[in-house]
Chains A and B, each alone.
Chain A
Amino acid sequence: EPEVTQTPSHQVTQMGQEVILRCVPISNHLYFYWYRQILGQKVEFLVSFYNNEISEKSEIFDDQFSVERPDGSNFTLKIRSTKLEDSAMYFCASSDTRVQETQYFGPGTRLLVL
């Protein structure tokens, strides 16, 4: 069964460093998402992406964050200058259509900012 993959599974970085989290969505899907879950808290929506542009973003997704689909398969989340509070599990998801459709989640990348 096709699945969403994410790399790396874990990343440790120093505060102020840039990180890029990578995702490979399911191949025929058109909508891509990033979510984060701070330890012990709810999952939170960050951004959705369609047709090579952001379709929606939350207030969490400020200028420090950017997303890109650099080629036909990868979908990346960049955090420009990491802060301690960016430490979280980051999930990528994809879906075939925009609304009322199952989103398939990747296994997550656990980011620790020191």
Chain B
Amino acid sequence: KNEVEQSPQNLTAQEGEFITINCSYSVGISALHWLQQHPGGGIVSLFMLSSGKKKHGRLIATINIQEKHSSLHITASHPRDSAVYICAVMNNNAGNMLTFGGGTRLMVKP
């Protein structure tokens, strides 16, 4: 079973700061997802990665397959970025089943 760990669990930042959220997993994967969960509970998919790096606006996601590690970066953070960020992995031998990390709760203060 894949163990997915995220750090930090909670993060408070000032508006404008550069933010990094980390995700590590224990077993080889076919893909990794970064998700955003809003205070109301809704989940939005941010990125799906199988190698390298992806960028969308102020968000950047990287993955190192050899190290079994991924990072999500937010540049020029804004209070509207406040949410829970969740890493989820798709295991090599488990088809399309996702295993989720516990999430990182981010609060960006103005």
Query: Which residues from chain A sit less than 8 Å from chain B, CB to CB?
Result: 31, 33, 35, 37, 42-45, 48, 55-56, 58, 89, 91, 95, 98-105, 107-108, 110
By secondary structure, the B interface counts as strand
Give the number of residues in B that approach A within 8 Å (Cβ atoms): 25
25 contacts between A and B (CB under 8 A): A33-B98, A35-B98, A43-B98, A43-B100, A45-B100, A48-B95, A48-B96, A56-B96, A56-B97, A58-B97, A89-B41, A95-B96, A98-B95, A98-B96, A99-B30, A99-B95, A101-B48, A102-B45, A102-B48, A103-B33, A105-B35, A105-B42, A105-B44, A107-B40, A108-B42
B96 & A31 in contact (Cβ 8 Å cutoff) = yes
Q: How many residue pairs, one in A and one in B, have C-beta atoms under 8 Å apart?
A: 64
Query: Which residues from chain B sit less than 8 Å from chain A, CB to CB?
Result: 30-31, 33, 35, 40-45, 48, 50, 86, 88, 90, 94-103
